[in-house]
């Protein structure tokens, strides 16, 4: 039987259970470090995925993730963190996990084989040609994710795939296939290890870079953060001060006037306009902060 690379036995760690605890920890950390290399090697495809996704999203499309198991849970995490980090509307970051929401907390391994569910879940969220579908699976062959990707192509959505085995259907059938070639795991077949780490790095990089392209970042400042607690409100003040060179008093006043919307406060102070005009400038710029300033 031909094995996928992620299923192969790593000869380097055949004696894992005989090593000291320090030795086991060292082996796991050593192998995890290879996840960074796997993502770096895919940087060209990752960049292409970012540029294409940003085009679709600028026209009003959604990010729709499909995955199973560890891959699906990582996709859910990525989608969940976009609203508080970039004020991205929750309705435009949809994560579909094989087995449903309960599978986030309790493994439902059989759900990944349900091709019909991969299609039905996308129909339920009314996937359209304006959307960006992100299919993610370590194997690159997971039926749930693959069926979802094929359905997305049929409706005309942009399809992006992340997988850890080269030449697999998920990668070859997507508009952009991002191969995170991480190889065999320390613990044979346990893709929650460096395959999952590579996926987490790639998803973080992809979604963050997309938000940069959409103007949700000014310089390297997170100027569209949603300050929903005390810590984040203090961060918002620091962001406004750093972006505008205003005093802390001026920054707080601008934030209070804008309902603690950092981007609006930044535009208001730098353009010397009131909150309403700052919001109008942002709306005219499609939410892109730097364009609103220039």
CATH number at 140 reads: 3.40.50.10490
CA atoms within 13 A on the CB side of 29: 6
Residue from 87, 81, 80 nearest 227 by CA: 87
Answer yes or no: do 241 and 183 share one domain: no
Give the separation between CA 183 and CA 7, rounded to whole angstroms: 8
Q: Is residue 224 domain-resident?
A: no
Sequence-distant (≥ 6) Cβ neighbours of residue 292 within 8 angstroms: 215, 263, 267, 271, 278, 281, 282, 284, 285
> What percentage of the chain exceeds 90 in pLDDT?
88
How does residue 158 score in pLDDT terms, banded at 50, 70 and 90?
very high
Mean pLDDT of 44-58: 97
Please give the torsion angle defined by the CA atoms of residues 91, 92, 96 and 101, in that order, rounded to the nearest 10 degrees.
-30
Answer yes or no: do 158 and 36 share one domain: yes
Q: Is the confidence at residue 83, as pLDDT, over 90?
A: yes
Active site residue 116: no
Q: What is the pLDDT of residues 204-251, one digit of tens each?
A: 999 999 999 999 999 999 999 888 899 999 999 999 999 999 999 999
Active site residue 277: no
Answer yes or no: do 132 and 207 share one domain: yes
Answer yes or no: do 182 and 52 share one domain: yes
According to DSSP, the residues that pair with 93 across neighbouring strands are 63
How does residue 99 score in pLDDT terms, banded at 50, 70 and 90?
confident
Give the separation between CA 165 and CA 148, rounded to whole angstroms: 19
Catalytic residue of the set 7, 81, 115, 173: 81
Is 138 in contact with 199 (CB distance < 8 Å)?
A: yes
Q: Is residue 220 domain-resident?
A: no
Residue from 4, 53, 52 nearest 182 by CA: 4
Answer yes or no: do 207 and 133 share one domain: yes
Answer yes or no: do 93 and 191 share one domain: yes
Look at the chain and report how many structural domains it folds into: 2
pLDDT of residue 106: 81
Q: Is the confidence at residue 160, as pLDDT, over 60?
A: yes
How does residue 107 score in pLDDT terms, banded at 50, 70 and 90?
confident
Q: Is the confidence at residue 1, as pLDDT, over 60?
A: no
Catalytic residue of the set 30, 106, 109, 112: 112
pLDDT of residue 71: 95
Answer yes or no: do 128 and 251 share one domain: no
Q: Is residue 167 domain-resident?
A: yes
Residue from 98, 23, 72, 70 nearest 189 by CA: 70
């Amino acid at each position: 039987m031909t094995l996928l690379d992620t299923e192969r036995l790593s000869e380097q760690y055949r004696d894992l259970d005989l090593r000291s605890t320090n030795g086991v920890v060292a082996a796991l950390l050593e192998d995890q470090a290879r996840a960074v290399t796997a993502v770096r090697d895919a940087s060209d495809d990752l960049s292409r995925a970012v540029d294409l996704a940003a085009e679709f999203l600028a026209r009003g499309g959604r990010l729709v993730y499909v995955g199973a198991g560890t891959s699906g849970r990582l996709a859910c995490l990525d989608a969940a963190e976009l609203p508080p980090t970039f004020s991205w509307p929750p309705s435009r970051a949809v994560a579909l996990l094989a087995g449903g929401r309960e599978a986030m907390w309790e493994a439902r391994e059989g759900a990944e084989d349900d091709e019909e569910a991969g299609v039905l879940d996308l129909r339920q969220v009314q996937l359209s040609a304006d959307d960006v579908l992100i299919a993610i699976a370590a194997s690159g062959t997971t039926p749930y994710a693959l069926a979802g990707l094929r359905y997305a192509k049929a409706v005309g959505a942009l399809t992006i795939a992340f997988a850890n085995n080269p030449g697999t259907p998920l990668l070859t059938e997507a508009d952009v296939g991002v191969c995170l070639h991480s190889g065999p795991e320390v613990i044979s077949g346990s893709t929650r290890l460096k395959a999952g780490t590579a996926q987490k790095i790639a998803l973080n990089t992809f979604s963050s870079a997309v938000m940069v392209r959409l103007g949700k970042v000014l310089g390297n400042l997170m100027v569209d953060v949603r300050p929903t607690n005390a810590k984040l409100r203090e961060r918002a003040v620091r962001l406004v001060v750093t972006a505008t060179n205003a005093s802390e008093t001026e920054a707080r006043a601008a934030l209070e006037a804008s309902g603690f919307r950092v981007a609006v406060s930044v535009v208001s102070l730098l353009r010397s306009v009131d909150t309403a005009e700052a919001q109008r400038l942002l709306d005219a710029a499609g939410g892109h902060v730097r364009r609103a300033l220039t």
